[in-house]
Structure 1
Amino acid sequence: MTWAAVAILAVVTVQRLAELWLSNRNTRRLLDQGAVEVGRSHYPLLVAVHVAWLAVLWWLAPGQPINWPLVVLFLLLQLARLWVIATLGPRWTTRIIVLPAAPLVRAGPYRFVDHPNYLIVALEIAILPMAFGLVAWAILFSVLNAIILTIRIRAENKALAYG
């Protein structure tokens, strides 16, 4: 099933690169409108965890048996991810960008959860390695992600409370 693993990872990689492009575009536009970035110091750690996660998957997943129900669950999470991105629209970024005086978004998935994107990402980081039987890696990256998200959510909540 190497071809299937490569196809899955290619889709995830292209998706992440497209999201970075969108995030950078939205970040520039928000900063031009007077927004400010918060939590810049932890951002490289967040990126490093995500790049390492994807690199480990590219290294170890091809050739592994695939748990298709977990792949389907991962794909369903992508629909939730798109819902988050669509709900935030031009305010969606991978950074913490606060537009002063802009109201908090309470539509879409934000009606149910304060940080739906982080919940989705936490699930993705666990589920995709498990779809390839890489349970130990799923645990390791879930722990690393939890650590960085703890820092990030504190910074974001603080910024939004004063934004």
Structure 2
Amino acid sequence: MSLFHYVLLTGAWLFWMAPFLLLKRNREQPAQVDKRARWGILLQSVAYCLVWQSDFWNRRPAPSRVALAALFFTIGALLSWTAVRTLGRQWRIDAGLNPDHELVRAGPYRVVRHPIYASMICMWFGTGLLVAPMPLFALCLAILIAGTEIRVRLEDSLLASRFGDDFRSYQTQVAAYVPYVR
């Protein structure tokens, strides 16, 4: 990979991470937590680590892959910023609900119920396009989707237990993390 590719990767990931580091989140203990979501985090982490398991430093991605990666990075970074800003202090790493939790439907939550996961998938796609051969890319994608599905289903269950029919209505109207795919 060229210096440009390394700068693109590093810059994209730093920009994606910035809202999680800069914006305040609720550090109080949530009223309800589902720790099983950590299995999803584990699988997502495996997918992120595995995608690098090739001789990526020798890769010379085609210009079309670089352009597509840049597009995914841009979408992913914009989604992370808008989603975290829209959630405000409700954002947390664990699947949990605060006592004052509200069902957010504004901003990117009008398009997908889990825009932070959508942003993570975009960032993963961008990275994979630059560093991974296709067989490895496909394997890691399957692992990433499995981990994301675990987290989405557990979070949706928590939200349904709190917001009932209001959430179920939202769930039928808005896709989980890929727009228009239910």
TM-score by length of 1: 0.75
Matched, 1:83 2:91: no
Answer with 66-75 or 102-111: which moved more: 66-75
Please name the residue that 1:39 is paired with. Answer: 35
Give 1:9 deviation, angstroms: 2.8
Structure 1 counterpart of 2:108, one-letter code: P
Cα pair distance change 1:150/1:133, threshold 3 Å: closer
The offset of 1:142, in angstroms, is 1.2
Amino acid across the alignment from 1:44: L
| Identity percentage of aligned residues | 24
What's the offset of the Cα at 1:117?
A: 2.2
Could you report, residue by residue, the CA deviation over 1:3-37 in whole angstroms, capped at 9, with x for unpaired residues?
112212322454566566469x735x142xx4433
What residue identity is the alignment partner of 2:134? V
Question: Residues 36 and 113 from structure 1, CA distance in 2 versus in 1: closer, same or farther, beyond 3 angstroms?
Answer: same
Q: How far 1:44 moved relative to its partner?
A: 3.1
Equivalent position of 2:120 in the other structure:
121
Q: CA RMSD in A?
A: 3.0
Q: 1:96-135 alignment to 2 at 5 Å?
A: 96-132=95-131, 134-135=133-134
More deviation in 42-51 or 74-83? Answer: 42-51
Asked if the contact 1:39–1:152 (Cα under 8 Å) also holds between the matched residues in 2, the reply is: no
- Where does 1:8-87 land on structure 2 (aligned, <5 Å)? 8-15=8-15, 18=18, 21=21, 26=25, 29-31=27-29, 34-40=30-36, 41-42=38-39, 43-53=41-51, 55-56=52-53, 60-61=56-57, 63-65=59-61, 66=63, 67-77=65-75, 78-87=77-86
CA contact (8 A) 1:125 1:138 kept: no
Residue identity in the other structure for 1:71? A
Give unmatched runs, 5+ long, in structure 1.
none
- Decide which moves more: 42-51 or 80-89: 42-51
Tell me if 1:4 matches 2:4: yes
Deviation at 1:98, TM superposition (A): 1.2
Cα distance per residue 1:113-134 (max 9 Å; x no partner): 2122222322332343224563
